[in-house]
Amino acid sequence: MRAAYGLKIWQAFSTEIFKPAEGRLSNPGRTHQFITFVLGGPGSGKGTQCTRIVETFGFTHLSAGDLLRKEITSNSENGAMILNTIKEGKIVPSEVTVKLIGKAIKSSENDRFLIDGFPRSEENRVAYERVVGTEPDFVLFFDCPEEEMVKRVLNRNQGRVDDNIFTVKERLKVFTALNLPVIKYYSEKGKLYKIDATGTEDEIFERVRPVFAALRAKN
């Protein structure tokens, strides 16, 4: 484990919320929704590790990309615009994504969420905070070399329209130009936890586990 830019996140954790119940994190009073943003470049393993965190710590996983892809398949009014934006590796307007995330949080019984792949830009971040009214409790950043990310994306084989070398190159550019400033912002606020995203899925999860286990141990 290492804290990004030399900062620790422990001080940033909300204190009143996590109580152990059946080995999982629990908040029976629903006084606070515990929000973790999960960031990292394309193919860094955000979705893969979110699945492991869900299994072990009982969070609900909301992938912004999945919510947008669902809009395409459900033929929503924004479907065509979203499809074109994803094909180009660009960012969908904040109001669309924030609305989908807000709706998913509201309709969930859970009170702790992993928001995967959002915010993608400072504009996204500001829009989320304006609409939802709170900041995330902390932010995980999966730090992976570009070469490895490209390899993983091109091997993914899930039929995604953006898993091709042209779109991946654009997504990497967008990540560097627009997403890294968000990561820096949360680092400077002491909310960022950087995870080395190289190695096997198991090895990476063993770097993630202590972050969430510490939350449980604290209460």
Ligand X SMILES: Nc1ncnc2c1ncn2[C@@H]1O[C@H](COP(=O)(O)OP(=O)(O)OP(=O)(O)O)[C@@H](O)[C@H]1O
Q: Which residues bind ligand X (CB under 6 A)?
A: 40, 42-48, 65, 117, 152-153, 156, 200-201, 204
- Nearer to ligand LLZGTKA7 (CB atom), residue 125 or residue 207: 125
Distance CA 155, CA 147 (A): 12
**Given the DSSP bridges, would you call strands 19-21 and 24-26 parallel, antiparallel or unpaired?**
antiparallel
The closest residue (CB) to Mg ion is 47
Q: Considering only 7-15, 29-37, 57-65, 206-214, which stretch makes contact with ligand LLZGTKA7 by CB under 6 A?
A: 57-65
106 appears as a binding residue in the annotation: no
Helix, strand and coil content of the chain, in percent to the nearest 5, comes to 50, 15, 35
Asked if residue 168 binds ligand LLZGTKA7 (CB under 6 A), the reply is: no
- Nearer to ligand LLZGTKA7 (CB atom), residue 3 or residue 81: 81
- Nearer to ligand X (CB atom), residue 73 or residue 200: 200
Asked if residue 40 binds Mg ion (CB under 5 A), the reply is: no
We find the least distance from the C-beta atom of residue 141 to Mg ion, in angstroms, to be: 14
Identified binder of ligand LLZGTKA7 from the candidate list 117, 144, 149, 150, rule CB under 6 A:
117
Distance CA 123, CA 145 (A): 25
43 appears as a binding residue in the annotation: yes
**For residue 169, what are its two tokens?**
């190159």
- Going from the C-alpha of 110 to that of each of 72, 214, 218, the distances in angstroms are 26, 20, 20
Counting other chains too, the contacts that 123-128 makes at CB distance below 8 Å and 24 or more residues apart are 123/94, 124/91, 124/94, 124/97, 124/98, 124/182, 125/182, 125/185, 126/94, 127/94, 127/95, 127/98, 128/94, 128/98, 128/101
Q: State the residues that interact with ligand LLZGTKA7 by CB under 6 A.
A: 42, 63-65, 68, 85-86, 89-92, 97, 117-118, 120, 124, 162, 171
Q: State the residues that interact with Mg ion by CB under 5 A.
A: 47
